[in-house]
Amino acid sequence: VTIPHAEKCGYIEKLTKVGTVLSEVGSKDAAHIIPPYKWIELMKAELEAGSTYVIAEARESGNVGIYRGSGEVREGLVQEILTQISEEKIIWEAPQKAQQLYFLELIGCNVNLGNIPPSEVISLEAMRIGLRADTFHLYLNKEIA
């Protein structure tokens, strides 16, 4: 469903009066590339309208929005977004393990991740607390050596 962004923000504003609102920014259409400044503009507007969190779109396959078709993180886009939007206000869709690892290394174990397949939740939590080889190094005391 496509609606004008101002109308979407109006709905967000109304809905915040009755509950918590999570909104999503991005497109499920791989051909629709949104430039970084637009991501920031949309996210800011939705947060200002009352959204508690904005979700960075990636689809369940993790190959659109904040990712390239290959699933690789659009690192420049993510870095640009983080210059203007608080990391605490963003839920990054990250269905692939490599994507989850990227955000854990970039932001830390409390990063907000979404679109996690149910069968991967325990694995992700093990990564968050350093109980997997992927993230064990994040928890080593680097002063010892």
Concatenated DSSP letters for 16-41? Answer: TTTS--EEEES-S-TT----HHHHHH
CATH topology of domain 5-117: TIM Barrel (3.20.20)
Reply yes or no on whether the pLDDT at 68 is more than 60. yes
Q: How many Cα atoms are found within 13 Å in the side-chain-facing hemisphere of 121?
A: 5
- Output the CA–CA distances (angstroms, integers) from residue 81 to 25, 43, 57, 121, in the order listed: 12, 9, 13, 26
Output the pLDDT for position 27. 81
Reply yes or no on whether the pLDDT at 60 is more than 80. no
What whole-number percentage of the chain has pLDDT above 70?
Answer: 97
* Buried-exposed string 127-138: b where 16+ CB fall within 10 A, e elsewhere: bbebeeebbeee
54, β-bridge pairs: 23, 90
- Cβ neighbours of residue 87 under 8 Å, at least 6 residues apart? 107, 111, 112
pLDDT (mean) for 97-111: 97
- The residue ranges of every structural domain in the chain are 5-117
pLDDT (mean) for 87-93: 98
Query: What tens digit of pLDDT does each residue of 8-33 get?
Result: 999 999 999 999 999 999 988 778 88
Output the pLDDT for position 125. 97
Three-class secondary structure of residue 134 per DSSP? helix
Q: State the Cα–Cα distance between residues 46 and 43, nearest whole angstrom.
A: 5
Contact (CB, 8 A) for 86 and 62? no
Judged on CB neighbours under 10 Å (0-12, 13-18, 19+), 25 is buried
pLDDT class of 144 with cuts at 50, 70, 90: low
Output the pLDDT for position 29. 77
- Output the CA–CA distances (angstroms, integers) from residue 112 to 11, 50, 93, 117, in the order listed: 24, 18, 9, 15
Output the pLDDT for position 127. 96
